[in-house]
Structure 1
């Protein structure tokens, strides 16, 4: 009988009386474990080997478990400190025992939550007692940690369950395969087995020389598991951002760019945002400590913006009549919206004076000190856009949104009147989530007020908006939590398997 070299080697290493694992066979043959596994399954198909499988559980210490295996469990340290402080005779102040134990941070809570559970004593009304008859040297959990640290096994499943619930050990299961020679395998070995050259492809040279008669062709099992290879690919958020750019360019828009860290002047003051507005406090913004302020601002524009804040614009304009500090305007922070780019472009500061009509957009990252939840992150992408032209109206703005979102299959957007310091009229946009049916906010928009446009030197209408790229992604793909898509908690398996929508 002729067999491939790997199969011959595995048969010669196998036994008819003793089960030998894949690891044993790999060590005996010098072959890779995956090569041995393939050979074993092929020999099983030929009834030359019998294969059995069993599941083995392994237990390993976590980083915290290793720390406690070496230094002791917090509850034991607390017990021993309490005994030394006299808590075995009469209750003492809990703070006294904790201070004597040297515990700090989260270890204090860990010690307190396990102290009474293990019968080391009682904790009541800020006082602690210690049972002098308790034996901390006989602590089952501590003994188990020590055994695992020494490479020994622990048989007590309840103790392992408790350690796992405390995050001190990790359990994992693996499949162990073993093989033994069958009767046919023994017979084949006695009759003699030759190693045949194995080839994977028939060539013209083999046909002309007749060599094909003397070689063993490798069999292909198309149902066999293949090694998973996760190659790199463009993130689904970046794919959507690129698609948004293509759509807006197709609608006649040009792209803007600019600094992520900018002066409050461009981020908020030009937008007629009062300096005492809550969104401009240190609670809601990320300020820079180096450098702390910008040096280069157009003085004439600063004067006009200052005047708009104090006095308003036009015959009937009303300013805020509140203090306005140029030093605050020069302070640098991470931009909370990309409207800072719009201010730079509309003022002519970015690339010179613009003549209407003009259309500009950006799809860039912004930063806000928000509370993390399924629809908010500390940083996200904003789809900024504006149109400068004569005689624009809210109907033009709504029509732009309907055309834009239709490119992504979204035709049920809703509009809700809203207040912004910088636009009037203003409205928010909402879309129906395809999975939950909830209305989620997807953007904010409006017509820039004269208090914004006149200091910038713009004499026509400007309609503008800021849309959330992540919210668009939620409507397109049905994601319910944007933290699954990007950030430190993102779901890599979801990102690998998500289908691209064209």
Structure 2
């Protein structure tokens, strides 16, 4: 007597071979069934001992839109080298601005070219000048050749290190999948020889079967109590949001109040109040997301006048200002905030909650936007931990002590400080923490004492210490993540997010 099995299982048994392994896709094509239907049948047959499954991880490389662009137009560093060589930089150093202009590079492409130029041995960059190595050969650029190979579907021929480099630059996307191959077992062959036929079975009792009476005549699929149940992954709060909430709890516990305000704001609040010159590189289209919307007219006119005067003439008897252009039209233009210090300016000026009398402590944990090059520690949008303290007789020691106390709450005790320059704070310093896995020091924040050119136009006559810390960098120090894109953004590792427990 023939053994009766569900139709899909019979089709797989009759198509599979005991000697030649067939993939799920091949079985699906041969049987005319959907891959997911074949997969279910294969797993049922494996549980019955009729087929064997071999699993293999397979990687596929494809060009991103940016990679395709550079494949057609040449890599930015190659274009920079060719422009430098044409400018005679192989003999004598050429002016950087002249070569960049001749290369046709714009926006982030300039930074990309500069960061890869010396790495590839195309020449040296320094002091506003560039040289071109006479023996460099852009025609044999390994990364350019790899882009062509990936586009042609021949990623296997590319050196692994080169492929990793292209992936880190965002020019190649690597996708992985599990390929399952199926072969008949001895029991499967024996069953086929004895005879097998398809059974018209149903897997559930429906109202239609009950009302029609057909349930008496159909054959129900056998219920396998040993089969693995479908995995159900419930929703949960993202680990970044959980860490942000913990940061808020910590700062509130340290006596701070929370600030809030717009993501898109006038450049006046974002930069001008910070004594950032309007011709500063960070305020160009290279680093700033400007919005094509009407300017903001609702600004306190007296404060605008005081800020403009500080930019033009400085503050105090020894103040000198910037001697650079200052446009009220630019100040009123709208952009996505590059830092949450725009909130600090709104609160310190009294615009947000009225005039404040010292002592005061405020913070925010909010998203900011910068036109950065994506890498393991940089994103186009990220969360900044903004904070400031207004009080009499504050010093850098107070600021450093605040950081040590804050990071101690997260188990981080090795915080290091490095002097730094900011247009809006003096003295200033950057903060660094040691990565628990790599042992490297990574920058985790920037801080300092607000300068008189910032405070006097705001009407503040006491000290204010302030900082901007990176929430994502804190996450890296807490959990040992080496690439922030694993937990934030479109390439994040969902399984990692499901399994990682919040540290308290």
TM class by shorter chain equals 0.5 to 0.7
Asked if 1:391 corresponds to 2:397, the answer is: no
Distance 1:36 1:348, change over 3 A: same
- Give 1:484's aligned residue: 486
Q: Is the 8 A contact 2:243 2:502 kept in 1?
A: no
Q: Distance in 2 between matches of 1:63 and 1:378?
A: 20
Task: Give 1 or 2 for the bigger CA radius of gyration.
Answer: 1
Closer, same or farther: CA 458–174 of 1 in aligned 2, 3 Å: same
Unaligned runs of 5+ in 1: 1-6, 45-49, 65-159, 190-197, 199-216
CA distance in 2, matches of 1:485, 1:173: 26
Give the deviation of 1:401 after TM superposition: 0.5
- C-alpha displacement of 1:184: 11
Matched, 1:175 2:181: yes
TM-aligned CA deviation for residue 179 of structure 1:
7.1
CA–CA distance in structure 2, aligned partners of residues 225 and 329 of structure 1: 62
For 1:383, what is the secondary structure of its paired residue? strand
Aligned to 1:451: 453
| Mapping for residues 97-246 of structure 1, pairs under 5 Å | 173-176=179-182, 178=184, 220-221=225-226, 225-246=228-249
1:178/1:432 CA distance change after superposition, 3 Å: same
Q: CA RMSD in A?
A: 4.5
For 2:373, what is the secondary structure of its paired residue? coil
Shift of 1:162: 5.3
Aligned residue number for residue 358 of structure 1: 360
Partner of residue 428 from structure 2, selected from 426, 429, 441: 426
Q: Secondary structure of 1:369's match? A: coil
Separation in structure 2 between the aligned mates of residue 382 and residue 63 of structure 1, nearest angstrom? 32
For the residue of structure 2 that corresponds to 1:313, the secondary structure is coil
1:459 is displaced (CA, Å) by 1.9
Q: Which runs of 5+ in 2 are unaligned?
A: 18-23, 65-151, 159-171, 196-202, 204-221
Alpha-carbon displacement from aligned partner over 1:1-32 (angstroms, at most 9, x marks no partner): xxxxxx97569x979x97889999x99xxxx8
Alpha-carbon contact 1:484-1:490 (below 8 Å) kept: yes
Report the alpha carbon displacement of residue 258 of structure 1 after superposing the two structures with TM.
0.9
- Alpha-carbon distance in structure 2 between the residues aligned to 1:321 and 1:284: 23
Task: Provide the secondary structure at the position in 2 that maps to 1:244.
Answer: helix
State the aligned residue count.
369
> Closer, same or farther in 2 for the Cα pair 1:261/1:180, shift >3 Å?
same
Which position in structure 2 is the counterpart of 1:409? Answer: 411
TM-score by length of 1: 0.62
Q: Distance in 2 between matches of 1:370 and 1:498?
A: 28
Describe how 1:9-20 pairs up with structure 2 within 5 A: none
Q: Using the TM superposition, give the Cα deviation of residue 483 of structure 1 relative to its aligned residue in structure 2, in angstroms.
A: 2.2
SS of the equivalent of 1:321 reads coil
Q: CA deviation at 1:464?
A: 0.5
Q: Give the alignment's TM-score, normalised by structure 2.
A: 0.62
How many angstroms does 1:301 deviate by? Answer: 0.6
Q: Distance in 1 between matches of 2:260 and 2:327?
A: 27
Distance of 1:442 and 1:52 partners within structure 2: 51
Deviations 1:327-358 (A, max 9, x none): 11111111111101000000000111112211
Structure 2 CA distance for partners of 1:18 and 1:235, relative to 1, 3 Å: closer
